[in-house]
């Protein structure tokens, strides 16, 4: 249940911030937060990351439903007793549902976080995207930790095999 609360928090925060953008900014309008680093920019995306697959909503519906079902399955089967795995899956679930709501209701995703990282004009994103990325990073950390534990069990703490 705790993990679903995280997912719900992500969805609510994502949808609230998107509502603020849609109702208070013109499309393309930008507000400087930190000059040359961070802006709030009203943007819409009818595709996936970096605008790929523009207008392929049916594909996004199918993929997102499969992803949501898969994440929920793993939350029930694999996350018991594994806090990091559960949190990572909850973040991914909230992010996937947040963008799915946009695609269903608006036929586009509302993006607004606009950054320049080391002078690179990073594509505009949103809270759901952030939750997805953080969730994937935490999942990779979980996988690395599990691999390490598995090797320690097999070879011992110092990395040599014991018979």
Catalytic residues: 111, 129
Q: How many CB atoms lie within 10 A of CB 19?
A: 11
| Those residues with Cβ within 8 angstroms of residue 116's Cβ, 6 or more apart along the chain or in another chain | 36, 37, 38, 122
* Helical (H) or strand (E) element with 69: helix 57-77
């Amino acid at each position: 249940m705790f993990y679903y609360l995280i997912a719900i928090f992500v969805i609510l925060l994502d949808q609230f911030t998107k509502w603020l953008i849609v109702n208070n900014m013109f499309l393309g309008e930008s507000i400087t937060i930190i000059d040359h680093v961070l802006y709030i920019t009203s943007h819409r995306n009818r595709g996936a990351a970096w605008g790929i697959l523009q207008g392929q909503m049916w594909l996004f519906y199918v993929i997102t439903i499969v992803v949501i079902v898969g994440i929920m399955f793993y939350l029930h089967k694999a996350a018991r007793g594994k806090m990091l795995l559960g949190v990572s899956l909850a973040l991914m679930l909230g992010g996937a549902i947040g963008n799915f709501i946009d695609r269903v209701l608006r036929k586009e995703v509302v993006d607004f976080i606009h950054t320049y990282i080391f002078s690179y004009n990073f594509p505009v994103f949103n809270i759901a995207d952030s939750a997805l990325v953080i969730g994937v990073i935490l999942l990779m950390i979980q996988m690395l930790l599990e691999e390490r534990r598995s090797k320690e069990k097999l070879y011992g703490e110092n990395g040599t095999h014991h018979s």
